[in-house]
Amino acid sequence: MTEQLHAQQQEPQQEPQQEIEQPEDFTIQPETDALLVVDMQPDFMPGGPLAVAEGDQIVSPIAALMQRFSLVVATQDWHPAQHISFASQHGRSPFDAIPLYGSTQTLWPDHCIAGTSGAALHPGIPQDRIGILVRKGTYRDIDSYSAFRENTGPDGQRRTTGLSAMLSARGVRRVFVCGLARDFCVGWSALDAQAEGLLAIVLDDLTRAVYPERRAETDALFAQGNVLHRPSSLLKGGAL
């Protein structure tokens, strides 16, 4: 994770943003706040091929929190069967790392193959509350952790998913990020949100990590990228 997030931080996509004043409270603003629910899919739950420990424990509280936001964005990993991030495509073991496009690629078990039950949103996530759905990792030769941009491709660039433009069009200025996993897709999404000029807050109790023992490293990268991380209990209001 550290290598991945460091690589992201070293590849700025735009001119540095003017620092945004941190909020004094966490009252949900229906016109300018969004909840970003990252990769709540069965393949990342206990029993799945890329299980995140205790990932199933955050389904119900995230589902409840979704009721309090006017705009909910959800992401899904949505990979082709021969995706470049799969260890099976390289004759390597899952969680090995290889150099790829000038960065480091973690190799994963086959997971979230487009159209399979493991790639669906968890049935406990209320899909009627989702206003924007982002499917990522759809290019065979590029991995994708962030809701905002693909990982670095063969051209050395990180392609946009279009989410930043959609949020801008809706007047969103702040995103609360939850889901799986804190040290990969949640972290990348929060850092990219901040880089895109949004204020990003990771809801710590509504995430779980692939490598929870490396929490301090992730927290340091959040601090470097001006990403806040707080418990969801600090959120106020927002009931529809």
The residue type of 72 is V
| Per annotation, catalytic residue among 33, 56, 77, 136 | 136
* Count of C-beta atoms within a 10 Å radius of residue 30: 13
What is the pLDDT, as a whole number, of residue 7? 45
| Per annotation, catalytic residue among 33, 39, 183, 192 | 39
Report d(CA 233, CA 240) in Å as an integer: 18
Q: What is the pLDDT of residues 119-157, one digit of tens each?
A: 999 999 999 999 999 999 999 999 999 999 999 999 999
For the question of residue 39 being annotated catalytic, the response is yes
% pLDDT > 70, the chain: 90
Kindly tell me if the per-residue pLDDT of 2 is higher than 50.
no
What is the pLDDT, as a whole number, of residue 5? 58
Confidence category of residue 25, pLDDT binned at 50, 70, 90: confident
| Per annotation, catalytic residue among 56, 112, 143, 185 | 185
* Count of C-beta atoms within a 10 Å radius of residue 227: 23
* Count of C-beta atoms within a 10 Å radius of residue 3: 12
The stretch 194-204 carries a mean pLDDT of: 97
Structural Rg of the chain based on CA atoms: 17
Q: What is the pLDDT of residues 80-132, one digit of tens each?
A: 999 999 999 999 999 999 999 999 999 999 999 999 999 999 999 999 999 99
The pTM assigned to this predicted structure is: 0.90
Report d(CA 209, CA 55) in Å as an integer: 9
